[in-house]
Amino acid sequence: MPEANAAALEFLKTRRSQPAKTLASPAPDRAALTKLLTIAARAPDHGKLEPWRFLVLEPQALQRLAGTLAAAGGRLRIEPERVAKLKAQLGGSPLAVVVVGSPRPSEKIPKVEQMMSAGAVCMQLLNAALSAGWGANWVTGWAVHDPEWRERNLGLMPEEWVAGVVHIGTARINAPDRPRPNLDQITEWICA
């Protein structure tokens, strides 16, 4: 029987993201964030392609991006409430890391597996931040799904996408836990 890491298992069993709107300063400094990014980069990566990269957005950059949303929302005909919500999320965040899916040419590793690797990096970063005592939340938002906005404001290439935006800071309030999935409803055991 393998030896269990009881503390890690308990953390994973009880982990809880903090809503981005509840995060405030301070956020991790460069040294602390570098440790979290190092952990995130240990995500599963079939083929060792590292088909992702990080964009670290500090408050001034987040404010600048929030300022671009009204025009983008108008162009895309996004409801004003959704524009305001994303603007508040970006503009009010103390720090965010954009995990950019950056596919690599490969005959062996399909794009979908590279996309899943970028998603695994988001989850790894989220769990690293939470286990280090920070509040954190993994979200995206309508703007990052628009190729024009991504290219103009984040400098992404046409083949790149945003796997996630991980907001990290100090939780102002502890978010209440939410009901967890009923495993009996989502699990099927196939024994033969």
Task: List phi, psi (to 5°) of 122.
Answer: -60, -45
| β-pair partners for 139 | 165
> What distance lies between CA 122 and its chain's CA centroid?
4
Q: Are strands 96-101 and 23-24 parallel, antiparallel or unpaired?
A: unpaired
Output the pLDDT for position 183. 86
pLDDT in tens, the chain (192 residues): 889 999 999 999 888 899 899 999 999 999 999 999 999 999 998 788 999 999 999 999 999 999 999 999 999 999 999 999 999 999 999 999 999 999 999 999 999 999 999 999 999 999 999 999 999 999 999 999 999 999 999 999 999 999 999 999 999 877 777 788 888 888 999 998
Domains annotated for the chain, with CATH where assigned, are 54-171 (3.40.109.10)
Cβ neighbours of residue 13 closer than 8 Å, sequence gap 6 or more: none
Task: Report the distance separating Cα 80 and Cα 191, nearest Å.
Answer: 51
Output the pLDDT for position 63. 97
Output the pLDDT for position 177. 76
User: What single-letter DSSP state applies at residue 4?
Assistant: P
Two tokens at 124? Answer: 């790894």
Output the pLDDT for position 47. 85
CB burial class (10 A; 0-12, 13-18, 19+) of residue 2?
exposed
Q: Which residues of 58-77 are buried (b: 16+ CB within 10 A; e: fewer)?
A: ebebbeebbeebeebbeeee
**DSSP 3-state of 88:** helix
Output the pLDDT for position 178. 77
